[in-house]
Amino acid sequence: MKTRDADRLALILLLTPFVMWIGLLIVLPHAGVVLLSLREKVAPRMFEYGLGNYIAFLKEPIYLNTLMRTAVMSLLVTALALLVAFPVAFYIAKVARARSRAALLLLCLVPLWVSDLVRAFGWIVLLRETGIVSSALQALGLAAGPVELLYNDATVVVGLVYTVVLFMIVPLVSTLDGMDDSLIEAGFNLGGSRLTVLRRIVVPYAMPGIVSGSIIVFMLTAGSYLTPVLLGGKTSMWFTEQIYDQFITRFNWESGAAFGVSLLVFTSLVVWIGLRLTGQQLATTVARR
Amino acid sequence: MKRHLFILAATTALSVVSVALPAGAETLRLLTWGGYASDEVIKAFEKEYSDIKVEVTLSNNEEMIAKLRATGGSGFDLAQPGFNRIKAAHVEFDIYKPLDLSKIETGRFDPIMFNRVVASTSIDGKVYAVPHLWGTSGIMVDKTKAPDLKDWLDLCDPKYKGRTSMRLARTILVGSAFAMGEDPYAAYGDLKKYQEIMSKVADRLIACKDNVKAYWRGGDDLSAMMLSGEAVASDTWDSTAYKIFAQNKNIVYVPPKSGAVGWIDSFALPRKGRADDAAYKWINFVTRPEIAALMGAKTGAVTAVKGGIDVMPADKKEAIKAAFTDADIANIKWAAVIQPGVEDIEGKTLERIKAATAK
Amino acid sequence: MPSDLACQDVSKRFGRFLAVDGVSFSVPGGSFFSILGPSGCGKTTLMRMIAGFEDPSGGDIRIDGRSVVDTPPNRRNVKMVFQHLALFPMMNVGENIAYGLRCRGMGREEIRRRVAAVLDRIGLPGVAEKQVHQLSGGQKQRIAIARCMVLEPDVLLLDEPLGALDLKLRERMKIELKLLQHQFNTTFLYITHDQSEALVMSDRVAVMNHGRFEQIGTPQDLYHAPATAFVAGFVGDTNRWDAAVVRTEGDRIAFATTSGDAMLGRWAEPSRHPAVGDRIAVFVRPEAIEVRRGAAGTVDGGEVNRLSGTVESILFNGAASRLLVRTAAGHIVEADLPQSGAAAGIAQGETVEVAWPAERARCFLAGAAAP
């Protein structure tokens, strides 16, 4: 009996920090946000509970359009990140020698050593009308006058892909790393072309990595703030910007909270649809390498 | 998602920090703007009052209110929001406490500024703020490239297509309204009327969107665009314009014909501040003419003490005198007290402009 | 019968390392051919060249009479069973087998028919819908073979496919593989480091060492007439002693072992001739050694080696039991344990005589030695 009690105590001690972390930093704030989002202001310092904030959100086309825009662009970023990351991950996991592998992964990590803000300013310095790329194009005679590469959606997408691509590479490398090279060789040996081997063997094998990478990248992108705000143009609205505006410039925490919850629900829905379409389950993608 | 998590986390962190501070320590926690409490000024203050330590948190109008709201007015001992933001924020969120004017050397203030602020921040006969620094927002032009740009809506002149900038914020809304012959401040009390004016402004600014190269967001942003020549004109804070003027004498601050928009940053006591005496000492310290001059030099804003412009350092004085005639100063549209509901209308208007496709 | 697979002077160089060094052989159609060698001897490289995963640095590989050196791996009609089988985990059994047929663009119905047929032939009908991980080790093995055989290859390559199985199953699979090979009547090229696998299953075996073939022959040839010291040491159990030549007389050699025993042996390397004083390696199989109780008698007629020793230990293993005898000079001699007759029941510490005919002591020049 004594040992069982001791075991239980050890388990409780082990779990406590984890539960506290989850509880204090994840569950409690989210519960707070949900509660906040259900409060409607009726007069200064007077609130009633109701769905008014959500109704207001659904009634305003600007908010819905921004949410859809954010979702579509995030999906685009996810797809591009996958296209960019797959060959890189394949190279790191399957082609590069074991010794250079760590170095290559580290190299992918380098951009994360500087903050979001600095990275965004890096892009600004590069792409602005009087920036490095524009000047170089002019010096090479490829452009007649200054070229403005900043302030449009394409720049936002490029900047976001750059920011999130590592989060695609890492899960892909770890799944591909676990793949026996002989599977690929067997694929060729049995008569498959490069495309067949890629399509029927490598990609299906890497699917858990693809799905978990895509989930991470999609969530990160949809929730990113600085990059779309700083690189975006006159009409580049990002949904997080709306949330920020509600909270900070309009002091409307209730509505901001409703926006936040809506974003969470909507992105979760997109992920769920994605999982259904690819026939994956969250448990298998996260648990399996 | 990230953002609201961040706010909540920050809020939690703030309350933890404030609990952790020993209650008896003489620490003055300032919530203020960049440059409003320079190291130089703090050093001078701490030398004189050796038992007080000054901690500075830099912020802006919106975040000041958000921070105080998050903690119910604790965590800071002295805040410096714009005077027109105090009343509505206090009514809504209960974040300030009244000032004891007897502890402030009110005789030093320029009476016009002082009365304007006191009148706008009184609730039930209690005064919640006194003025500190003032300035204006107007437009900034590169006079070699856009010599005839004189008013807010000249930024929409097709002659400068793709070469102007503006900030999507209250200033441009209000400025454009004045330029269109309206008086938005007078309409603050009548939200329906204000909504009408803002709809018109929105239509105008949406039509103008194509003319704008990009909307700026911060002083650095704006400086880079103007100094590189990518933009030839923009709306601006005067202090930013003066800084740029110091680097390029061709870029000058122009008070718009229909009136520059004036602002006054003030002193207010957060409701749960714990170092009121130190706060009063700070107020009385920085309104001394010699300290006011130090601050003016740093920020380019004018102090609200008597003869505020005259105590400015020579180069800033020159920049101001070059920009303003007496008539311009008389024409300054002093910010009116924000009423509940105004922010909502403005926010929606700004969203409409941002979301509209250019044309 | 035409040869299905022929290699002509095939080499492979990795940088400065010569992994395969001028190997030539041909495998008659329908036979079971093994390449036996220690790990690192180049056998896997050789197989990978035949499959097309590596390009030879020199020489030619012909399958069914045509050179395939320039044919990409997916166009060669050589299929391979990988060491860990490489069954595709994301496909079920049927899809695994159908993969190659689909690559050939075969119709859906035809594929279904052939998959069912091959599953029947390997004795696993109706497992097509099962997931790979639901199968036992032996079943997986058969599926891996079926996946190749359904494509009717000219040659089936097997890369130590039994390595991962436990001992009992391995013994059973040896027999099963041999039967499958008969059944499909396809050329099998089998790679292994396990001499018993090679001996049991193969029609012919090539022993490979340091990138070269030491000997090609039937299992009986390799066992009874090893051509080199390496083969003598690597194939089958054997005693191995280092010695120096004392006298030569035709193929009879008199030598002294390093610890001083004088013995007789037979010279087994016709291509080379020993001289007095040469260092040699002597191999005697344990079953050639006769054990008798009591001290050694005199040398009679000179054709039999007789030594006295004490029983150091007894390694009991049923029919394959062994006796370790330390001779007076200090050698260890490994002999089959007599389990009947006068010598049955020998105990540790007893004094015994060990004897073997000179004919059964094979002598090679020292040099390449088995590990």
Shared domain check, C157 and C86: yes
In chain A, which among 89-118 make CB contacts under 8 A with chain B? none
Range of the domain at C195: 3-231
- Among partner residues B343, B357, B358, which is closest to A251 by beta-carbon distance? B343
Shared domain check, C270 and C227: no
B84 — phi, psi (to 5°)? -80, -10
Look up the CATH number of the domain holding residue C198.
Answer: 3.40.50.300
- What mean pLDDT is predicted for residues A236-260? 89
Shared domain check, C131 and C254: no
- What mean pLDDT is predicted for residues C141-149? 93
Q: State whether residue A249 sits within 8 Å of chain C by CB.
A: no
Q: CA-CA distance, C301 to C327, in Å (whole number)? A: 21
Q: What is residue B102's predicted lDDT score, i.e. its pLDDT? A: 94
Shared domain check, C178 and C31: yes
- What mean pLDDT is predicted for residues A35-42? 86
Checking if the pLDDT of A43 tops 80, the result is no
Q: What is residue C302's predicted lDDT score, i.e. its pLDDT? A: 63
Q: Are B76 and B52 in contact (CB under 8 A)?
A: no
Q: What is residue C47's predicted lDDT score, i.e. its pLDDT? A: 94
pLDDT tens digits along A142-201? 888 888 888 888 999 999 999 899 999 999 999 999 999 999 999 999 999 999 999 999
Q: How far is A192 from chain C (nearest CA, A)?
A: 6
ipTM of the complex: 0.82
Structure tokens at C175: 């027999």
Shared domain check, C10 and C149: yes
Q: State whether residue A191 sits within 8 Å of chain C by CB.
A: yes
Shared domain check, C337 and C311: yes
Chain A residues close to C100, C-beta within 8 Å: 190-192
Final residue belonging to a domain, choices C204, C231, C258: C231
Q: What is residue C301's predicted lDDT score, i.e. its pLDDT? A: 55
Q: Are C346 and C352 in contact (CB under 8 A)?
A: yes
C-alpha distances out from residue A2 to A12, A13, A239, B109, Å? 15, 16, 55, 76
Shared domain check, C29 and C140: yes
Neighbours of chain B (3+ CB pairs under 8 A): A
Half-sphere exposure of C311 (CA within 13 A, CB side): 22
Evaluate whether residue C151 is within a structural domain.
yes
Whole-model pTM: value is 0.81
Helix axis angle, C167-184 to C137-149, nearest 10°: 20
Q: How confident is the model at residue C204 (pLDDT cuts 50, 70, 90)?
A: very high
Look up the CATH number of the domain holding residue C255.
Answer: 2.40.50.140
Shared domain check, C163 and C28: yes
Q: Are B327 and B255 in contact (CB under 8 A)?
A: no
In DSSP terms, B136 is beta-bridged to B262
Average pLDDT by consecutive 10-residue portion of chain B (359 residues)? 45 45 70 88 91 91 89 93 90 92 92 92 94 93 92 94 92 95 92 95 94 89 91 92 89 92 94 94 92 81 84 78 83 88 89 78
Q: What is residue C140's predicted lDDT score, i.e. its pLDDT? A: 92
Shared domain check, C325 and C250: yes
Checking if the pLDDT of A286 tops 60, the result is no
Q: How confident is the model at residue A111 (pLDDT cuts 50, 70, 90)?
A: confident
Q: What is residue B12's predicted lDDT score, i.e. its pLDDT? A: 47
How many helices (H) does chain B have, and how many strands (E)? 14, 15
CATH architecture of the domain covering A52-287: Orthogonal Bundle (1.10)
Determine the residue of chain A that is closest to C99 in CA distance: A190
Q: Are B236 and B140 in contact (CB under 8 A)?
A: yes
pLDDT tens digits along A194-233? 999 999 999 999 998 999 999 999 999 999 998 998 888 8
Domains of chain B: residue spans and CATH? 2-132+265-301 (3.40.190.10), 135-262+337-355 (3.40.190.10)
Total domains in the fold of chain C: 2
Checking if the pLDDT of C300 tops 70, the result is no
Q: CA-CA distance, C172 to C162, in Å (whole number)? A: 10
Task: Assign 3-state DSSP to chain C and report helix, strand, coil percentages, each to 5.
Answer: 25, 35, 35
Torsion of CA A39, A42, A48, A49, to 10 degrees: -40
Shared domain check, C248 and C201: no
Task: Please state, for a pLDDT cut of 90, what percent of chain C lies above it.
Answer: 57
Structure tokens at B170: 């209250």
- What mean pLDDT is predicted for residues C2-13? 88
Going from N- to C-terminal start, the domains of chain A cover: 1-37, 52-287
Q: How confident is the model at residue A4 (pLDDT cuts 50, 70, 90)?
A: confident
Mean pLDDT of chain C: 89
Q: How confident is the model at residue C272 (pLDDT cuts 50, 70, 90)?
A: confident
Shared domain check, C223 and C241: no
- Among partner residues B8, B94, B344, which is closest to A32 by beta-carbon distance? B8
Shared domain check, C103 and C132: yes
Which range (B223-232, C1-10, C194-203) has the least confidence?
C1-10
Q: What is residue C297's predicted lDDT score, i.e. its pLDDT? A: 62
- What mean pLDDT is predicted for residues C11-18? 92
Neighbours of chain A (3+ CB pairs under 8 A): B, C
Q: What is residue C117's predicted lDDT score, i.e. its pLDDT? A: 93
CB contact (8 A) between residue A62 and residue B94: no
